[in-house]
Chains A and B, each alone.
Chain A
Amino acid sequence: MNDVLVVSEHRRGELRDVSHEAITAGRELADARGGDLHVAVVSGDVDRFAEDLNRDGVDAIHAVNDGEEFDHNVYQSAVAALLDRTDAGTVIAPNSVNGLDYAPAVAEDRGIPLVTDAIGIEYDDGLTVTREMYGSKVETTVDVAGDRFVLTIRGGEWSPAEGVGDATIEAVEVDLPDSGARVTGFEEVGGGDVDIADADVLVSVGRGIEEEENLELVEELADALGATLSASRPIVDSGWLPKNRQVGQSGKVVTPDVYIAVGISGAVQHVAGMKGSDTIVAINTDPNAPIFDIADYGIVGDLFDVIPALIDEFA
């Protein structure tokens, strides 16, 4: 019951970073409850992944060699089988697009409470999870009843586990029920005329621009600065700029010398795509906008006043 089962994640032959972060989160919780840490690696090159996942603090690795890429039926069945075979009472999965495609089903199937998108986990007589609400404007602590939990964790909140562990590694056979969902392929999106990941300077525009016709203003700024134009998700969702201009978790990860965020609030999904920029400038009317938390320079003001003045400076 006190053991923790971490489910690793990989795509196209590479373990994703959150897998190593989840090991850290899992080890902390297992320590607090006096349990062991199990890690599941499901599908793909499981032997190579298992070796990589054998880091300090991992007690056992369970390898389910079935298929190449993610299939929620395989993941759900594997996790359920490992809950039966081990003493794990808690599942920790990444709060990723794929994590959210099976973790809620595991929790529902087993009647275990679920908390997603955790940014902090504490155990002291009971489980308390820290998570955000209202679009990252507030944090909450949530007490979770019971002694079994399914948790998904946000990437980048725990440091990755390091070192080399002495975990046992075992292959696990899992019976798979028939599935009515079949992965038929993958598609790269966001190709096209320009690769924003190559740009030294990006002028990036967000919801604050309000109307499509106002885009001319930021295009003019990008021209004046010799910069490339990029955008946050709402601009691309609205069809105002193509997908290849999107910065963020579901778009491109960029690391330019200078990133100028214009009317971008700085949702976590956006920040994941640009926090590695050398210098970040933010222009936003809301002084509490999370973009200012990672900015090096900030102007709290109306972009429709500031941007024309800035264009004049470089005209």
Chain B
Amino acid sequence: MKVLVTVKEVAEADDDFAIEGTDIAKSDVEYDLNEWDDYAIEAAVQLAEAGVADEVVAVTIGPERAEETIRMALAKGADRAVRVWDDAFEAGFADVAAKVSVFEAVVDDEEPDLVLGGVQAADTGFGATGVALAERIGFEHAAVVNHLEIDAEADLARVHRELEGGVEELTEVDLPAVLTVQTGLNEPRYASLRGIRQAQRKEIAATDLTGLGLSADDVESALTITSMYEPESESDAELIEGDAGESAGRLAAVLREKGVGA
């Protein structure tokens, strides 16, 4: 069985940041592997270690800088990676359908039996690409999976979907399928030194839209970000100031007044 894992390098804003135009200033963000995708990689690597998966391929849409992130996926155990980037993505904000078009082309090339990705990306937070991809490529799907077993003989995945309020839905999904992975599914490993060394020798195939048989029209986005701003603080919190001792003393007085510690 072949597993394709979609990963994204996400931007995380510093505590203090400036907004330039319709995005956060590049100097005020740190780049990292999307937290949800880390769980998806771990799930795929565990399937390989269990002998269920023969090959784990990571795919990302991202500029050259994102190689650092996708190499992290390789260091954790993915066998090889595909990185897709194109000038067409520099122009604006890619919508879900645009990303799906890219992943569809990669799925056509790779022919995976299972596609895993995070529930959402920490920066844009759409939470939709996996389910939309499944619809496009005719795979089954399940969103927000926090428990996963593959029954290779029955050719299906047994999953739990994490609903709101402490309830999980138990679902069987026929393969091939796209599953979006929730945090807490497993314990993502740290890359070992050996893994990091091995990752240097693993292939990252960089390609663009033409390489995938697509054109800029295929990734035309329906969405345009027209403004970005910091939400007005609605805080009417009473800030308790002073050094740690002073502020703790004042907070203790407030808490005692509320009957705490009595």
Contacts and interface: CB of A to CB of B under 8 A. Distances in A.
Given A105-B132, A299-B251, A310-B251, A239 B173 contact: no
A210 interface: no
Interface in A294-315: 294-302, 305-306, 308-310, 312-314
Contacts of B132: 104-105, 107-108, 114
Interface of B: 11-13, 15, 17, 19, 22, 24, 93, 95-97, 100, 119, 122-136, 140-144, 160-174, 177, 183-184, 187, 222-231, 233-240, 243-245, 247-249, 251-252, 254-255, 258-262
Contacts of B228: 133, 138-140
B251 A184 contact: no
Nearest to B96: A114
A83 interface: no
A118 B177 CA distance: 28
A108 B170 contact: no
A11 B244 contact: no
A114 B128 contact: yes
Contacts of A299: 239-240, 247, 251
Contacts of B235: 292-295, 298
A116 B226 CA distance: 16
Contacts, number: 270
A170 interface: no
Interface core residue of B100, B131, B183, B254 (most chain A CB under 10 Å): B131
Given A101-B144, A227-B260, A297 B238 contact: yes
Interface stretch (A43-51, A57-65, A187-195): A187-195
A interface bracket (residues with beta carbon within 8 Å of B): 35 or more
A215 to B, nearest CB: 17
A281 interface: yes
Interface in A5-28: 11-12
Contacts of A237: 183-184
B160 to A, nearest CB: 7
Interface in A28-54: none
B140 A181 contact: yes
B91 to A, nearest CB: 14
Given A97-B162, A101-B144, A309-B245, A113 B222 contact: yes
Contacts of B261: 224-226, 314
A31 B224 CA distance: 24
Nearest to B100: A108
Given A105-B134, A237-B183, 14 more contacts: A100-B127, A104-B130, A104-B135, A116-B125, A117-B125, A141-B225, A180-B140, A181-B174, A181-B177, A257-B259, A258-B255, A292-B237, A309-B248, A313-B251
A-B pairs, top 8 by smallest CB distance, nearest first, are A180-B174, A309-B248, A113-B222, A305-B244, A313-B252, A104-B128, A237-B184, A104-B131
A85 interface: no
Interface in A240-265: 243, 246, 249-253, 257-258, 260
B222 A101 contact: no
A282 interface: yes
